Structure 1
Amino acid sequence: MERLFKLKANGTNVKTEIMAGLTTFMTMAYILAINPNILSGTGLAWYSVFLATALAAGIFTAAMGLFVNFPVALAPGMGLNAYFATVVISSKGGTHPITPEIGLTAVFISGLVFIVLTVTKVRQLLLVAVPDSLKNAITVGIGLFITIVGLKNSGIMTIATENTVTDIAKGQFTDLLSFESVIHMGDLIHNHDVQIALIGLVLISILMVLQVRGGILFGILGTTVVSIILGYTSFDKLSDPDTPWVPNFSELNFAHFDWNGVIHTGLISVILTFTFVELFDTFGTLVGTATRAGIMKNPEEGRKRVGKAMMVDAVAVSGGALLGTSTTTAFVESAAGVAEGGRTGLTAVTTGVCFLLSLFLAPIAALIPGGATAAALIVVGVLMMQAVKDIDFQDLVVGIPAFFTVTMMPFTYNIANGISFGILSYVILATVANLRGGEKKYKVHWLMWILAVLIVARYAFIGSQG
């Protein structure tokens, strides 16, 4: 263990790493149910997607730990799976309908693009090109993004529109127009998911304040026990036919590609969208997690490890498509394990093994209520928020881009949007400041200019399509 993961050099031990890996798995386990639910709407079989999800997460997370010694887990990404489903479903009935097989082929191709970008070290250049202020802002923004995910998944936060206004008592907000929506507090009294999340928040927070090692994990387990006692979680799930004990790998959609369909459908824009969003999402997740884990304290060594992690991530994109699921990517929930002390690849290996075991123990994993994992995500947001102290908001050239990065992630519910606004605004403001002062005080890497152009082109293209 010591030779493979260098535990002492990273200030950790086997027990801490395993606890951290279990915590990461607990916060990610929801993907085992949510991903099949989303992709089954495209025509893919629910159980085949479940198998693909567990296998992709298990294999590539373990690979991240063994080959990179990095405490980051991978699984089919939220947002990208929704985009996948939207592209397939919205094309039905059209002149050139996109089948699930065509969609998986597009994901596979985007993974090949990532492998090329990683081998040529274009992706690794981001670590040098992006200024430290934006890197810290990415960490903070992801923390807020995780918090929003937790609040939304638990029901503590709801989004009210004109169509849902009848579900909320009148007088609690102004009348909405047809195009308006507001963020609102959920039902704290009658919604069981909200109650469980609040109990989890209190329990996990107390354990964290008392500095109990494994506080987040024990908080999740304790909240699950409370949910069972209150009758909100039933043992009936152990016999649910949708979560069989013994996996049937014959139902796996392995390499179900349609190359001719891609050529005739013309999925260039879809492939580019997958590539662009994954590029920034992965960069943000890896840098944010690496910073939190202390890996970036040695910049040169940190960049090497993140570069290797990017290669595993690139292979995972295509590998996940081979197994039959949408884009497999680094998960922001990895921060939960890092917050528990995870510093090496043993954390990732532990998480990967848990995902592989979930193929046989899916009914037990299904017992964990969503409110328990949501509470953990909210608390992790607090921990990642600590990086805000390293951002110099007095210097507006870096402060404004950092602010855009932090706010756009949660408010637009998209990590890539935050990074895009941060990069574009930094290039503009740093250039203007350098021209005004007569000296180049702020460094603008040439790659930042290329990214700025690509960002403008991307949003201009999206606008033309909308």
Structure 2
Amino acid sequence: MEKLFKLKENGTSIFQEFNAGFTTFLTMLYIVPVNAIIMSSAGMPLDALLSATALITIFATILNGVWSNTPVAMSVGMGLNAYFTFGLVVGMQIPWQTALGVVFLSGIIFVALSFTNFRIWVLKSIPMDLRRAISAGIGTFISFIGLQQMGIIAKNDATLVALGDLSNAGAIVGVIGLFLVILFWAINIKGSFILAIISTSIIAWIFKLAPTPTEFFSLPSSISPIFFELDIISALSLSLLPVIITFFITDLFDSLGTLSGVGNRANIFKEDSKDGDIKLQKTLEIDAVATVAGSLAGVSTTTAFAESASGVEAGGRTGLTAVFTGLLFLLTLFMLPFFKSIPSNAIYPVLVMVGVLMFSELTKINFEDKAISIAVFFIVILMPLTYSITTGLAFGFIAYFFVKLIKREFKDINLGIIVLAIISVLSFVIKFVE
């Protein structure tokens, strides 16, 4: 174990790595019920989703720990799971099998390019501020979905949306959950998300706002209803090309952003360091492979989790932290009755809180640049208003390219921006032709 993970070299121990892995496990435990409930809205069976989410988390996290020797845990990414469900399946009326095909294809592209210097080209091509805007835009999108699903925001024929009926039992549970998740996060409680979910559920059960569970543990549920059910042929459509690229780009940016943040805390991916570059490269490779594996298992895009930072803060320095985290997720396979008993409106407040955290990326953006300012506005405002991450991205890239062009700031227009702008235009042309 010492030889595999180089514990002494990294100034850590088995106990320290276990403590860090347990901390990461607690902070991201919420993903199992949250992802399952979100994706079940696409018409997929909840039981199978609970097991599939746990299994892909175990697989990706342990594999990454062994392969890259970094304390980075992986699971189904927040944001793209909501886009998968509400953007593609509900919004575009795409069968969930086809949507899984889209995830698979984006993962294959990611795998192919993860073994090249493409990530470096992307980093140099797309301004950091636009990458931050993508994160903020997805934040507004998933927060809007969370508020809508809780009933706090409702459809209105006169104004499109309005305040929902807050006297409804479901909305009351949602408001309680939102209050608790903000409270626990604000006072820096570790595992604030899962603690808020459990607390909200208990309150809902006590006051008869949701059915009270009769059992909490059982044998794992089969994933056969969603295993290998993806439809790759239907996903190979010209009209879905922009969506495939959106999944790929978003996953890439999400991964790079997360790994950058976690790496800085633990000094893992040291700049101008061969060892740091190798670890980053290997982590991205597992991220890509896990996305492909996840689509086969029946879940949306898998990515590195920012909650890994909590394990790093607890002393995690090697892949053994990730291995312990993955092993602890084995417990979730036997918690099916408990997860099923959680009211959905105890889950959606977490979606809103995650959106808040992603939205905070706007504070780092330079709004003095006119092209950036306009592009960021379109990305952030149009993702929720059009119910589409793809549309927000397309408007943003086109706006950035257009403003830079008319201001003759040609030094800021590179091949990457040109290619993305062309793809963005084509995405609208394809819709118009259809």
TM range (shorter): 0.7 to 0.9
Q: Residues 186 and 52 from structure 1, CA distance in 2 versus in 1: closer, same or farther, beyond 3 angstroms?
A: same
Please say if 1:246 is aligned against 2:234: no
Q: Residues 248 and 228 from structure 1, CA distance in 2 versus in 1: closer, same or farther, beyond 3 angstroms?
A: closer
Instruction: Name the SS of the counterpart of 2:220 in structure 1.
Output: coil
Please say if 1:407 is aligned against 2:409: no
Q: Residues 413 and 384 from structure 1, CA distance in 2 versus in 1: closer, same or farther, beyond 3 angstroms?
A: same
One-letter identity of the residue aligned with 1:403: F
1: CA distance, partners of 2:134 / 2:408: 24
One-letter identity of the residue aligned with 2:116: T
C-alpha displacement of 1:321:
3.8
2: CA distance, partners of 1:258 / 1:146: 25
1: CA distance, partners of 2:183 / 2:64: 32
C-alpha displacement of 1:363:
0.7
User: Contact 1:140/1:385 (CA < 8 Å) preserved in 2?
Assistant: yes
| Residues paired across the two proteins, number | 414
- Quick one: which of 419, 423, 426 aligns to 1:450? 419
Which range is displaced more, 408-417 or 284-293? 284-293
C-alpha displacement of 1:35:
3.0
Q: 1:384 maps to which residue?
A: 358
Please say if 1:220 is aligned against 2:197: yes
C-alpha displacement of 1:258:
8.0
One-letter identity of the residue aligned with 2:166: L
Give 5+ residue unaligned stretches, structure 1. Answer: 92-98, 162-175
Cα deviation digits, residues 319-375 of structure 1 (max 9, x gap) = 23433x2543338xx45x368676777786676556543332211122333233322
Please say if 1:151 is aligned against 2:147: yes
- Quick one: which of 137, 152, 159 aligns to 2:133? 137
Q: 2:187 maps to which residue?
A: 210
Q: How does 1:353-364 map to 2 (within 5 A)?
A: 353=327, 356-364=330-338
Q: Residues 48 and 17 from structure 1, CA distance in 2 versus in 1: closer, same or farther, beyond 3 angstroms?
A: closer
Q: 1:95 maps to which residue?
A: none
C-alpha displacement of 1:392:
1.9
TM-score by length of 1: 0.72
2: CA distance, partners of 1:58 / 1:309: 15
1: CA distance, partners of 2:389 / 2:325: 23
Q: 1:192 maps to which residue?
A: 169
1: CA distance, partners of 2:40 / 2:173: 24
Please say if 1:183 is aligned against 2:161: yes
C-alpha displacement of 1:308:
4.3
User: Contact 1:284/1:415 (CA < 8 Å) preserved in 2?
Assistant: no
Cα deviation digits, residues 128-153 of structure 1 (max 9, x gap) = 21112212222322332332232123
C-alpha displacement of 1:453:
1.2
C-alpha displacement of 1:222:
2.1
Q: How does 1:158-177 map to 2 (within 5 A)?
A: 158-161=154-157, 176=158
1: CA distance, partners of 2:277 / 2:161: 38
User: Contact 1:204/1:219 (CA < 8 Å) preserved in 2?
Assistant: yes
Q: Residues 198 and 257 from structure 1, CA distance in 2 versus in 1: closer, same or farther, beyond 3 angstroms?
A: closer
One-letter identity of the residue aligned with 1:55: L
Q: 2:348 maps to which residue?
A: 374
Give 5+ residue unaligned stretches, structure 2. Answer: none
Q: Residues 90 and 204 from structure 1, CA distance in 2 versus in 1: closer, same or farther, beyond 3 angstroms?
A: closer
Q: Residues 208 and 278 from structure 1, CA distance in 2 versus in 1: closer, same or farther, beyond 3 angstroms?
A: closer
Q: 2:210 maps to which residue?
A: 233
User: Contact 1:281/1:416 (CA < 8 Å) preserved in 2?
Assistant: no
Q: Residues 406 and 213 from structure 1, CA distance in 2 versus in 1: closer, same or farther, beyond 3 angstroms?
A: same
User: What's the RMSD between the two structures over aligned residues?
Assistant: 4.1
Cα deviation digits, residues 255-285 of structure 1 (max 9, x gap) = 46889xx4xx794436635522311331343
Q: 1:170 maps to which residue?
A: none
C-alpha displacement of 1:195:
1.4
User: Contact 1:156/1:185 (CA < 8 Å) preserved in 2?
Assistant: yes
Instruction: Name the SS of the counterpart of 2:180 in structure 1.
Output: helix
Q: 2:30 maps to which residue?
A: 26
C-alpha displacement of 1:425:
1.8
C-alpha displacement of 1:16:
6.0
C-alpha displacement of 1:126:
1.8
One-letter identity of the residue aligned with 2:160: V
One-letter identity of the residue aligned with 1:22: L
User: Contact 2:139/2:354 (CA < 8 Å) preserved in 1?
Assistant: yes
C-alpha displacement of 1:294:
6.7
Instruction: Name the SS of the counterpart of 2:380 in structure 1.
Output: helix
Which range is displaced more, 297-306 or 61-70? 297-306
- Quick one: which of 272, 281, 303 aligns to 1:330? 303
TM-score by length of 2: 0.77
User: Contact 2:74/2:303 (CA < 8 Å) preserved in 1?
Assistant: yes
Cα deviation digits, residues 68-126 of structure 1 (max 9, x gap) = 533542268333356775799879xxxxxxx95x8766754554333223333435522
Q: Residues 382 and 105 from structure 1, CA distance in 2 versus in 1: closer, same or farther, beyond 3 angstroms?
A: closer
Instruction: Name the SS of the counterpart of 1:133 in structure 2.
Output: helix
Cα deviation digits, residues 18-58 of structure 1 (max 9, x gap) = 34433323145233244355244xxxx77556544443344
1: CA distance, partners of 2:103 / 2:135: 27
User: Contact 2:311/2:321 (CA < 8 Å) preserved in 1?
Assistant: no
Cα deviation digits, residues 409-463 of structure 1 (max 9, x gap) = 232233333333222222222233235xxxx5x5223211111112211221122
Q: Residues 105 and 198 from structure 1, CA distance in 2 versus in 1: closer, same or farther, beyond 3 angstroms?
A: closer
Instruction: Name the SS of the counterpart of 2:199 in structure 1.
Output: helix
User: Contact 1:187/1:194 (CA < 8 Å) preserved in 2?
Assistant: yes
